[in-house]
Amino acid sequence: MKNTVTTFKSAKESNEKLSMLTAYDYSTAKLMDEAGINGILVGDSLGNVVLGYEDTLSVTMEDMIHHGRAVARGAKNSLVVVDMPFMSYQTSVYDAVKNAGRLMKEGRAGAVKLEGGKEVSEAINAITNAGIPVMAHLGLTPQSINAFGGFKVQGKSEEAAKKLINDAKAVEEAGAFALVLECVPEKLAKLITESINIPTIGIGAGKYCDGQILVYQDMLGMFSDFTPKFVKKYADIGSVMKEAFKEYNDEINKGVFPSGEHTYKIDDEVIEKLY
């Protein structure tokens, strides 16, 4: 069944959980789509896991459009959400609407996601009014990593928790259709989930969120630079890949690959004339 923004909203009403993963290319998106994942996020984590940067700040609109299109081609039924990169919506409401529009038109997104609470609610409202669904993102918001001073759990003090709850209400009020909560204590994420009518999608935010999301390279064991506590490894694909690469390398060196079954033939008569 085709997942839409409406599917996400009604999932919360009927207490059905939502599954999301990140993807950055066609073939991975296709596998997730076939597996029945509700939503695929073309995250700006692209910067970390695909492009090899230390943070998400260098990711560009062109990067997101390029990968968005690829994922959109592979996703028949999953809702494709594309991240708005750093500085594509913080500079003005005009920029926010213009760039969200580019992600829809050129990036083939079904929705966009941006980070922040009250300070971006005007942008969320304007983008939504342009007919573009917005997913919000609170808690640990990696585009503000330099302001946070590192990757840590958010909302632990009473003051910080109150701010998160108010921000969650602000993005809902502004028109967001869903909210990602990243690195938030489980009981606070539960309270936020109960305080708003749009679904919460947790990453490091515990089991009471309406849905979950993980970066696919993390959950497949393909990315070892940094593994947060909240990552569950569902497979060790990284090792499987490395073993296959080693075996391929060995077989080339030993002349085992390619053998007859992977080789094209020509009539001996033809070849003899060429010598």
Q: Residue 225: what residue type? A: D
Judged by CB under 6 A, which of 3, 45, 88, 217 binds ligand KIV? 45
> Residues at the annotated binding site for Mg(2+)?
44, 83, 115
- Part in contact with ligand KIV (CB under 6 A); list of ranges 40-48, 93-101, 238-246, 250-258: 40-48
Catalytic residue among 119, 159, 173, 182: 182
Q: Which is nearer to Na ion, 44 or 167 (CB)?
A: 44
What's the maximum distance between 2 C-alpha atoms anywhere in the chain?
86
- Part in contact with ligand KIV (CB under 6 A); list of ranges 7-15, 41-49, 74-82, 233-241: 41-49
Instruction: Rule CB under 6 A: say whether 172 interacts with ligand KIV.
Output: no
**Environment class of 230 (CB within 10 Å of its CB; exposed 0-12, middle 13-18, buried 19+):** middle
CB-closest chain residue to ligand KIV: 43
In the block, tokens 């630079």 appear at: 225
Strands of 63-221 (E only): list them. 79-83, 111-115, 134-139, 178-182, 200-203, 211-214
Three-state DSSP at 17 gives coil
Contacts to Na ion from residues 39-58, by CB under 5 A:
43-44
Contacts to ligand KIV from residues 134-153, by CB under 6 A:
137
- Residues in the chain, total: 275
Q: Residue 230 in contact with residue 212, Cβ under 8 Å? A: no
Q: Which is nearer to ligand KIV, 103 or 262 (CB)?
A: 103
C-beta of 170: minimal distance to ligand KIV in Å?
19
CA proximity to 146, closest of 58, 24, 22: 58
Q: Which is nearer to ligand KIV, 61 or 248 (CB)?
A: 61
Tell me the per-residue interface mask from 20 to 39 with ligand KIV, x by CB under 6 A, - otherwise: --x-----------------
DSSP letters along 245-269, please? HHHHHHHHHHT-SS-GGG-----HH
Instruction: Give yes or no: 182 in active site.
Output: yes
Contacts to ligand KIV from residues 241-260, by CB under 6 A:
none
Backbone conformation region of residue 145, classed left if phi is above 0, alpha if psi is from -120 to 50, else beta? alpha
Q: How many residues bind ligand KIV (CB under 6 A)?
A: 12
Interaction site with ligand KIV (CB under 6 A): 22, 41, 43-45, 83, 137, 180, 182, 203, 213, 215
Interaction site with Na ion (CB under 5 A): 43-44, 83
